[in-house]
Structure 1
């Protein structure tokens, strides 16, 4: 009896009050569940079981929905009786006003039609809610509807489990709003409570996702709603819902290992109009941003001089961004990125030649872009006449946001004609893509998808996009975290990046290295602190999906700073094709390949949990299936020289020294100097790098049987590389496509050979 109840709880050793919680959740109902479990043994062929008190719905593939009618208390379990999602002890459904949610009282099972199960739930306030459930292979989808057809708050609730991760930018900024948590950044979401979850409630959040994953309990969940939401994840309960709606149409649970969970989440995003779109290659290389390098002091001359200086030093730049200040300076009405195609004639006298200059150097040319129109701007009248701006009481509304400083109108992105008009205007710039950048809108209640439709439309036209604002969509190349620079708590950078990766935004970009950030020149002097900051920041940024350069290292007159920053840029350039291949994998299956937090990569290893926080600073992640990143970063960057680095099960090789380690292993006080590449190689041990303009396959001897897929620069061409019981001392590599043996040599602790995109290779 004791064992059965423990399985029903579905709790793990990380739950501090495990025994107390099981007793609390299931006191008085254990006998009912035991009876149901025993009944199941003799009636496995039945997909739906109902008695006076309970309903059990099975999908026939290992997942069961278990409902106690009293309070609509529901949970999900495996067919062996182990609960993945335990039921709340009081009520599983809440509805009413956001400030006064009424719990469910009783439930009537209506029946099933086309695999959709219907329930009528009566609340404590005697109101009714209609609920529908479709239980599929690895997911459950709920719909909740108010029969009165009036907008109310509705939410689903289960008991709490931990650890959990996700919740996008909101999580990181939420911590800072609580005085007791100031500076205490972490990726674990236990303790999170927000009854007005969106990007417009003062949390300065741009990349918004209410997806949460509980990898040890093998489930994730999300209520897909771009409006204001209810999101809670505590030790006692998990709640998601909507604050003001007639119907919740797409509330999902996803089950299985993380790959299965993210696959289901990807499908849900695409099916509900929040697509993940295929990224292009160049933005994953090393870039340059004018804002970090020059602040407002941009012109054709200053931009050319700064970029040429980088190129002459050997920086492998692939892209550049001029975020602002390129429009005409003659009148305030032009001071916006909505002066489409208009350049300042003094600062940029020949825009066509200016763009061609960088094209010939192999750089993609991007500019900043916003949907804010100054009142008397050159295209504002046309937008007003056609009703393309957001309205209030039937008239275009004036807004005060961060930039432009004047009052502005904002594009109505839910008006298809407005989006078409806007995107056609963007064509006037004749550039390769955009850094989308609307900010400081927290005073208004915008939906979280206030930018998504524009970015999707631009991406469909072939532009590359640095995404700054989004709700669930990934219509571009990079997911940029909220502004991050030297004068902030440095734990937020890696925590924010990892949180985005958990939340379905793994194409992370941690902001500009050495950025001037509002024109401020660091601490006014070239101090040892700033030098260390630049080097540590470059080391961690190099291991993100993209990195960019700001104020040039030559300004600091320090040989080590110059060498480390260039070394970081060259490392990222070598890994560019490998990172991009993993970005394409994310596009195909939703799994965060480019930045896989260790609790996702190794969910059942208890040692990987509880380390991504301001105390432990165990900021580690997998890049693809072969590289483990462990940069020394955090608010102690100036003084720290060591970290406790955890190596999961398997063989790991130090990227710099070739020294071998075998996990699971915690490397206590592991020295990580600013000169060290913070990478281990493990997993498949297969990495594709670009070296002196040529692709090289690099095979590390960490496993005897594995395979991986590599995507080429077009995002389509595939290569399969497999390893099967090789003799590492007398290795043979076969190009299966060309049907010939490949010449190889040992370089930097790996077996290296010339790699051809689209060719398959076998190592034996």
Structure 2
């Protein structure tokens, strides 16, 4: 557990002097603009002292000297105020708050406003002219490409500014912004990360700049859960407004840069938030993309785990195995609300019929599962394999997405189960045909709900006329919303998907300690880009690695018990090794400790449900980093193995093979649920003992919900002392 300060220290913004002349807010409102060409940038603008006074007491104002143009936004109710300084010798953008730099674009050969044209990277350079009119600062700049210029528009508001820029002349195919990462302190957001260390499956750096992140297919059709939003410990945020694919690199190769590139030569549109703390930046972002309209999961699904068959059997599954697995869970009194049959129940992918060889009586299987007290669900996909009996029918009726290069043919996509076409959800007839197949499964086999897997669109396909690739996230959400997703949720993402309120499950993890650690930081990343109803990948992992060891399985269950939902597969009563095909047995302690974790989660469910209702009302995340609640505690910005569950519960489970760990407690009075003691923070507990039956957790005694959390988690019977 690395503990460092927020890292805000960077050169301060050039102080404004009395030599600067102010174009006042009064002038702007009167529609008076100022235009300066390159020779005039250092000139003095004649503005009377009275006008300057009016400007400083009102809204944004502009000052300038021979080196820069500065927009200053005064503090106001609920907003701290900020300034944006544009260096004119080589266009860079520096944002400051209270005289301290909080975000700055890259300089040097990288450049802050950069574009790709003619097979090479170019950048905006010297500012050749600017105007300030009707609240918009318009900048013109030369570039490193001969005969090509850049134009940027900066529009300030109380707690943010929009930055739009484009290239004039030339034929760019990519536009981007590049930032000096240190200028913002620590970086968060993004969602699931592609890294050389195996992310997102076994690696999720937290903060982002502590790893090497590079995703050149970052977009709305990605299988990863991603959104074009990043925020910093210095309380700034970057939201890129695009439906195009992006190339995102954060400290790639250790270069110290954040490069946010859109695969388009059109206008680059971004919003930069400037707030007093990161949580306010999160709320600003939520105000743009929307908060959950509801929770897709029910109260019961927050209370007990979903049991999905994937990591238990992978594709080597049949009717007898499913029933034996469910029966042992039932007999060992390990709670669960649903038995969900994953991949390889179909005769062929896309047939949407049970394989009679492995599931000779699927209805009888479903009835037996219901008799044990579980719901029954199955895995489905929109991807119809070429060898499916449904493929030709769907192709002939125009139900599949079309090829990008030949619109007369269905597009063919390769995935982990073969080659397929994708049901075109923008075609109402195609959607109706697919939904009818799902409803037939429900009525015939007593199926209660579905796990929708794979993507709703692929970039090798063409969107229907009038649709963009990002629209297919919405169409997929609308489809799924008609069915019970049984706590498995869907992996729908990109700006605006936050409003759907689905549970979000992570990408498949490995079965080792690194994957358990990644499951924690990945939930923090997903939750704080606007998806509050998170769960880890299946407890114990599901990435096709050898079955999890006993202590990994137990610790993963303990960790998941202190998250909004639990998603289970590998059974503590015995699982299977995908590599050897042989059964794997666990001892009674494994069963007992796993059951203890599930039961603790069940006792905590009333408290969690209150947080769910709060998230629907406000958009706030349930599982969140410590600094959301304790922004003044510097160590909170780099703690990567603890989190807050709502305002009252601090979770610090053992995520490594040891039996002790350090725990950082922020400011406040904390009740230790394992020892019945009260500890005053900030304080780091060194070597906190964590035998296999102990999960470190602490309750903030002054937080809403503290009493309910103590009732659920207190293992001592000792109530915290008053006062």
TM category, shorter: 0.7 to 0.9
Aligned counterparts, 1:307-318, within 5 A: 307-318=326-337
Q: Answer whether contact 2:71 2:84 (CA < 8 A) is retained.
A: yes
Q: Answer whether contact 1:419 1:453 (CA < 8 A) is retained.
A: no
Pair 1:95-2:110 in alignment: no
Q: What root-mean-square deviation, in Å, do the aligned CA atoms of Structure 1 and Structure 2 show?
A: 4.2
Which residue number in structure 1 is paired with residue 490 of structure 2? 467
453-462 or 82-91, larger mean C-alpha shift: 82-91
Gaps of 5+ in 2: 24-48, 463-467, 575-584
Partners of 2:567 and 2:711 lie apart in 1 by 29
Partners of 1:421 and 1:370 lie apart in 2 by 14
Is the partner of 1:661 in helix, strand or coil?
A: strand
Task: Give the TM-score, by structure 1 length.
Answer: 0.74
Partners of 2:475 and 2:717 lie apart in 1 by 45
Aligned match of 1:484 in 484, 509, 517? 509
Partners of 1:276 and 1:254 lie apart in 2 by 26
Which residue number in structure 2 is paired with residue 379 of structure 1? 390
For 1:657-681, what per-residue CA distance to the aligned partner results, in whole angstroms no more than 9, with x for missing partners?
3122111111111111110132111
Aligned counterparts, 1:266-665, within 5 A: 266-270=286-290, 278-281=295-298, 282-284=300-302, 285-328=304-347, 335-336=348-349, 338-340=350-352, 342-345=353-356, 347-348=358-359, 351=362, 354-355=365-366, 357-359=368-370, 363-385=374-396, 386=398, 388-394=400-406, 395-403=409-417, 405=418, 407-412=419-424, 418-419=430-431, 422-430=434-442, 431-438=447-454, 449=470, 452-464=473-485, 466-468=489-491, 470-472=493-495, 473-474=497-498, 475=500, 477-487=502-512, 489-490=514-515, 491-514=517-540, 518=544, 522=547, 530-555=549-574, 556=585, 558-593=587-622, 595-612=623-640, 619-634=641-656, 637=657, 640-665=658-683
Question: Are the structure 2 counterparts of residues 746 and 424 from structure 1 closer, same or farther at C-alpha, using a change threshold of 3 Å?
Answer: same
For 1:582-620, what per-residue CA distance to the aligned partner results, in whole angstroms no more than 9, with x for missing partners?
234334433322x111233323211223332xxxxxx00
Q: Answer whether contact 1:466 1:479 (CA < 8 A) is retained.
A: yes
Partners of 1:436 and 1:393 lie apart in 2 by 28
Q: Answer whether contact 1:484 1:511 (CA < 8 A) is retained.
A: yes
Question: Are the structure 2 counterparts of residues 559 and 152 from structure 1 closer, same or farther at C-alpha, using a change threshold of 3 Å?
Answer: same
Give the Å deviation of 1:44: 1.2
For 1:519-574, what per-residue CA distance to the aligned partner results, in whole angstroms no more than 9, with x for missing partners?
x7638xxxxxx222222222112222222333432333522212101101111122
Which residue number in structure 2 is paired with residue 714 of structure 1? none
Q: How many residues align?
A: 647
Give the Å deviation of 1:304: 3.2
286-295 or 360-369, larger mean C-alpha shift: 360-369
Aligned match of 1:128 in 149, 173, 178? 149
Q: Answer whether contact 1:292 1:513 (CA < 8 A) is retained.
A: no
Partners of 1:190 and 1:227 lie apart in 2 by 24
Partners of 1:33 and 1:155 lie apart in 2 by 35
Partners of 1:504 and 1:601 lie apart in 2 by 16
Give the Å deviation of 1:107: 5.2
Gaps of 5+ in 1: 1-11, 329-334, 524-529, 613-618, 689-695, 702-744, 752-762
Give the Å deviation of 1:186: 3.1
Task: Give the TM-score, by structure 2 length.
Answer: 0.78
Aligned match of 1:155 in 168, 176, 182? 176
Aligned counterparts, 1:163-178, within 5 A: 163-171=186-194, 173-176=195-198
Which residue number in structure 2 is paired with residue 221 of structure 1? 238
Give the Å deviation of 1:312: 2.9
Q: Answer whether contact 1:359 1:365 (CA < 8 A) is retained.
A: yes
Which residue number in structure 2 is paired with residue 712 of structure 1? none
Partners of 1:230 and 1:265 lie apart in 2 by 21
Question: Are the structure 2 counterparts of residues 392 and 237 from structure 1 closer, same or farther at C-alpha, using a change threshold of 3 Å?
Answer: closer
Is the partner of 2:573 in helix, strand or coil?
A: helix
For 1:489-511, what per-residue CA distance to the aligned partner results, in whole angstroms no more than 9, with x for missing partners?
34333333333334434433222
Q: Answer whether contact 1:509 1:541 (CA < 8 A) is retained.
A: yes
Pair 1:190-2:174 in alignment: no
